[in-house]
Copies of this chain bind each other. A is one copy, B any other.
Amino acid sequence: MSQSTDDTLMNGAESLVKTLLESGLDTCFTNPGTSEMHFVAALDHVPGMRSILVLQEGVATGAADGYFRMARKPACTLLHLGPGLANGLSNLHNAKKAGSGIVNIVGEHAVSHIELDAPLTSDIEGIARPVSHWVHTSMSASDVGADAAKAVQAANLAPGQVATLMLPSDTAWNTGGKVAEPLAPQPRPPFDATALDDAVAALSGPDSLLLLGGAALTEDMLEIAGRISAKTGCKLLCEWANARLERGAGRVVINRVPYPIDQALEVLKPFKRIVLIGARAPIGFFAYPDKPAILTAEGTQIIDLCRTSQDIAGALNAVCDNVGAAETPPAGIAPNAVPDKPTGPLEPGGIADVLARSIPRDAIVVDEAITTGRSFFPATAGAPRHTWLNNCGGSIGYGMPVAIGAAVACPERKVLALVGDGSAMYTIQSLWTMARENLDVTIVIFANRVYKILRGELTNVGVSNAGPKAIDMLSLDQPTLRFVEMAKSMGVDATQVTDCAALELALETGLATKGPYLIEAVM
């Protein structure tokens, strides 16, 4: 244990902050309350922790998700009791599905106070459990350091886990805190070596598919996949939603299994053999009457070689070696491709071309453009190399918070957040934190003024006769949301565009701006 000489005077909160720092965590997204005041006070006594204030906890947890994806290490959140955690819950759901490591520190009443059932008392562990892999309440100032080290270790377990540590206020304010040393990160377990021969045999010709996910989507891993594809003739695809995917000119192109179920069935139909590395066998986002939930054709052979938590690099290298592709040049390298300047009103194809022309090198693209955005991904494969982040949990309101975390993790890179208007309103408070921290985020809001995806879903679930009340529940046009004024009211400069040429100019302005900039793209 690394202990200072005045340890007996250190309170629990200080030992917690020091332990988090020693374990490599130096960023905290927070909206604190009374029960967290000692942690907040400790931020002054203990240098090194960057604290970022948010106006609603959904922003904090989403930011921690984005931070992990780009920094490859967890941030912590500091949340006020059960309700503060509850506000952050849906973005923790998304983070859990993305495999993002997060350490939540949640204030709790002093142990003696809990039994009194005060207004803010709730079953915090009960609230935490559905979105956490690891849950613990620290019962004394002398325990909290060691508990924090365990929380960080749990958060770092591959691919990344949500760890939630409850901090009763007396645990925070009592003296006797002990700083704990970092616990060694646990290695990824091996892939399923017994399936290797089958995988190698299966990857042969265009009716075989190598389906990738998770850590298989880095530049290096995709290059190996490209070699395998070149040697065996197999196709490459990745999941619809990916926590982080490296792409752009000079990198191996990989397409995503489509979201619309009929398209997904069509794309997957040709494959007789599918090898999974870091991906799961494709299933539908939702169930639909009279449509299959499992998207692969009947009789398709599926070989689950490596789960997303396992040794993905080992699996890809083993396949590469065993098919004899180690020296094969990778297939499917994206050429540098700049489409012609699109003109006319904003529609998905034109917007996609504008993006392909505008994405700067090393940009981080946060994709929550839902219906408008479906064409963006394929169209931008030839843009300068960049990183693409998807929503893996399907709960909307993930985009702007994740953009905050990505910008904090990578201050030298531009973040481009592509967000639908319905999604944007879920966590619109994000704008204030972007302004406060002067984060380099350009946000494009696609204002089609409707939950457009649901218009399609009405038909998909078999509702053919939707009436005016149903349609009204999917409409955002009354009153019109004025995103330019909204952004400015929270300190973010903004502009509105209605055609492709203006969008391209606005993107140029936004990406040249140091700090946040919002573009309302009216569809």
Contacts and interface: CB of A to CB of B under 8 A. Distances in A.
Interface string A425-449: 1101100100110000000000000
A111 to B, nearest CB: 9
A169 interface: yes
Contact of A130 (B126, B293, B483): B126
A41 B466 contact: yes
A488 B472 CA distance: 22
Contacts of A482: 488-490
A481 B432 contact: yes
A354 B93 CA distance: 45
Interface residues of A, number: 100
Interface in A399-453: 422, 425-426, 428-429, 432, 435-436, 453
Contacts of A462: 173
A457 interface: yes
A467 interface: yes
Nearest to A45: B467
A478 interface: yes
Most chain B CB within 10 A, of A90, A463, A480, A490, is at A90
A333 B313 CA distance: 78
Nearest to A429: B425
Interface stretch (A116-124, A268-276, A335-343): A116-124
A433 to B, nearest CB: 10
Interface in A46-105: 51, 53, 55-56, 58, 82-84, 86-87, 89-90, 93-94, 97
A490 B483 CA distance: 9
Q: How many monomers of this protein are in the complex?
A: 2
A469 to B, nearest CB: 5
A296 interface: no
Contacts of A38: 461, 463
B286 A109 contact: yes
B126 A129 contact: yes
Nearest to A129: B126
Contact of A286 (B35, B425, B484): B35
A284 interface: yes
A497 interface: no
A188 interface: no
A397 interface: yes
6 contacts: A37-B463, A43-B473, A55-B422, A83-B393, A116-B283, A425-B429
Closest 9 CB pairs of A and B: A479-B491, A44-B467, A83-B395, A110-B287, A86-B89, A113-B287, A485-B489, A486-B489, A83-B90
